[in-house]
């Protein structure tokens, strides 16, 4: 029986061999020809040299282990060599504490920048540029008033649609400033066709680089980055970036300890549909307010105006917590602050009284400096009434500004009515004050008339009071006492710094 089974198995194998080795005419005809004929080497194979293997561009299929690995894989700019690069490598390598603080700070923002660079097909070295610009500090402000981690000047920020108003400065905004910086770098690369020159223009200005190139061309000189004549700061700009790139590429060589930054988003964007306090957002998200501001550094004030800032950034794991808690929030009012457009020039004390808050609090929350009045049209952050349901308009949220005018200190001044006498109105007109004030200062009616030579009390700006004094003194004979002080005492205009007689009177006016 066993022999019979073996014989049947052998027969089946023989029939199978016939089916697979026959010609096409003996089997089903193919419906389409083969795609190609494979080629095989005719001679013996030679081993691949190490150099040849290293030059092959083989795409890895494994995901980057961390964000540093991902950045290294995207390096695409030509390396800059030279003593300046070595000098900057030594500078960074000898400051491990500084490098640690700087790279730790970048943890919140680096993933988003790398994502944007890859989406645009730009070299990932550019993700390291904020290390050079601001040490990845979004609150950094230079002596030239450049702000944010990408260090935009006010005019350049405006050109790239970065709003700068009383409530926020988008030069510090993570998403907006990164978008603007990469837009600018792409524009510069399009102008110069070279990343090193584009970076020089980012630091020095495109016009300056263009003029330097034109000057070298006129003199028959080279026009690459190392060959141009430029300021010392720009000369060291690309070497700094190259040094950081080299440290990131090979941290062991420089003894650097880069913190682990996972290849995962640090934050999520969350939509905001109503004005809401910063403190409430932090509370609903379960984070500290300073951590919220680190991700939303453009905010100036304690409230988020939805019309101007319709989205905020929250840590990845806290975004859903915020959404859930916001939905469950039962209070009808999300914002305890609103914006008041000041109707006329007024003192800080008057504005504070109208807003129902202390002068110190009004100054602090709106950044009002001392000895300044608030100009008409200024957008002040003030407490929001519990019954108010209307949020700040988009126009005010995007364009609100605060403007000031110096306070004019007034001084108690005594003037004399003319030889024929004067009315309250005529004296008020002469000194550009209101007739009601003149009447109040002298306890008379606005329709009253002063006798010739009668003393009239006035509160005039110091500058105007001094001018009146000089004009009156020039008409008087020399002082009999032979002293300037005596001349002042006998003049028709007497000044003093005594407080106004009527309590509560404001003696500060705008120019």
Measuring CA to CA, which residue among 465, 430, 458, 460 is closest to residue 444? 458
- Give 459-506 as a DSSP string: EEEHHHHHHHHHHHHTTSPPPTTSSHHHHHHHSS-EEE-PPPSSTT--
With both helix axes pointing from N to C terminus, report the angle between 195-204 and 237-249 in degrees, rounded to the nearest 10: 130
- Rounded Cα distance between 369 and 120, Å, is 44
Measuring CA to CA, which residue among 231, 244, 285 is closest to residue 89? 244
| 133 catalytically annotated | yes
HEC assignment per residue over 269-291: EEECCCCEEHHHHHHHHCCCHHH
Distance, CA of 63 to chain centre: 33
Q: Are 303 and 276 in contact (CB under 8 A)?
A: yes
Phi then psi for residue 413, to 5 deg, are -130, 140
Measuring CA to CA, which residue among 112, 37, 43, 124 is closest to residue 76? 124
What pLDDT score was predicted for residue 195?
Answer: 98
Q: What is the mean pLDDT of each run of 10 residues along the chain (511 residues)?
A: 49 43 36 45 51 47 84 96 96 95 96 97 98 96 95 97 95 97 98 98 96 96 96 96 97 94 95 94 95 95 94 95 84 77 87 86 88 88 75 84 82 87 92 90 92 91 53 42 33 39 38 38
What pLDDT score was predicted for residue 277?
Answer: 94
Per DSSP, helices labelled H in 22-95 are: 50-55, 67-73, 83-93
Token code pair at residue 328: 């469950």
What pLDDT score was predicted for residue 58?
Answer: 53
Q: Could you say which of 125, 133, 407, 422 is catalytic?
A: 133
Token code pair at residue 225: 């980055």
What pLDDT score was predicted for residue 15?
Answer: 42
What pLDDT score was predicted for residue 10?
Answer: 52
Q: Are 342 and 374 in contact (CB under 8 A)?
A: yes
The CB density around residue 245, as the number of other CB atoms within 10 Å, is 24
């Amino acid at each position: 029986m066993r022999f019979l089974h073996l014989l049947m198995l052998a027969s089946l194998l023989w029939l199978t061999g016939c089916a697979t080795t026959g010609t096409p005419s003996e089997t089903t005809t193919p419906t389409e020809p083969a795609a190609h004929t494979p080629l095989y080497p005719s001679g013996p194979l030679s081993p691949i040299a190490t150099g040849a293997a290293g030059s092959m561009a083989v795409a890895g299929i494994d995901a980057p282990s961390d964000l540093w690995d991902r950045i290294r894989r995207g390096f695409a700019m030509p390396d800059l060599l030279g003593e300046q690069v070595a000098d900057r490598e030594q500078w960074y390598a000898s400051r491990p504490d500084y490098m640690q603080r700087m790279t730790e700070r970048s943890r919140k923002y680096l993933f988003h920048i790398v994502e944007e660079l890859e989406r645009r097909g730009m070299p990932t070295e550019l993700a390291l540029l904020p290390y050079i610009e601001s040490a990845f500090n979004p609150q950094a402000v230079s002596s030239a008033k450049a702000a944010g981690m990408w260090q935009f000047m006010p005019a350049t920020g405006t050109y790239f649609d970065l709003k700068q108003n009383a409530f926020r400065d988008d030069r510090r905004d993570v998403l907006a400033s990164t978008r603007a910086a990469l837009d600018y770098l792409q524009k510069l690369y399009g102008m110069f066709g070279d990343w090193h020159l584009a970076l020089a223009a980012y630091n020095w200005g495109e016009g300056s680089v263009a003029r330097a190139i034109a000057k070298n061309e006129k003199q028959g000189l080279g026009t690459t980055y190392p060959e141009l004549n430029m300021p010392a700061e720009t000369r060291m700009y690309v070497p700094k970036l190259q040094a950081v790139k080299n440290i990131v590429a090979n941290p062991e060589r420089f003894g650097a300890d880069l913190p682990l930054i996972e290849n995962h988003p640090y934050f999520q964007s969350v939509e905001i549909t109503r004005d809401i306090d910063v403190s409430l957002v932090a509370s609903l998200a379960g984070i500290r307010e300073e951590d919220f501001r680190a991700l939303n550094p453009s905010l100036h004030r304690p409230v988020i105006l939805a019309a101007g800032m319709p989205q905020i950034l929250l840590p990845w794991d806290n975004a859903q917590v915020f959404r859930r808690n916001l939905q469950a929030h039962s209070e009808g009012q999300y914002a305890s602050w609103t914006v008041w457009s000041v109707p006329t020039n007024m003192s800080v004390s008057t504005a504070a009284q109208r807003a129902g808050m202390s002068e110190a609090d009004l100054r602090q929350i709106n950044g009002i400096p001392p000895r300044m009045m608030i100009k008409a049209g200024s957008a002040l952050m003030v407490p929001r009434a519990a019954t108010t349901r209307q949020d700040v308009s988009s126009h005010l949220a995007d364009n609100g500004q605060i403007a000031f005018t110096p306070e004019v200190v007034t001084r108690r001044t005594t003037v004399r009515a003319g030889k024929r006498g004067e009315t309250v109105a005529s004296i008020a007109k002469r000194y550009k004050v209101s007739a009601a004030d003149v009447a109040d200062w002298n306890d008379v009616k606005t329709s009253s008339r002063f006798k010739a030579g009668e003393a009239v009390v006035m509160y005039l700006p110091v500058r105007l009071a001094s001018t009146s004094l000089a004009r009156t003194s020039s008409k008087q004979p020399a002082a009999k006492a032979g002293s300037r002080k005596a001349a002042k005492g006998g003049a028709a205009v007497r000044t003093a710094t005594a407080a106004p007689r009527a309590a509560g009177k404001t003696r500060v006016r705008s120019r």
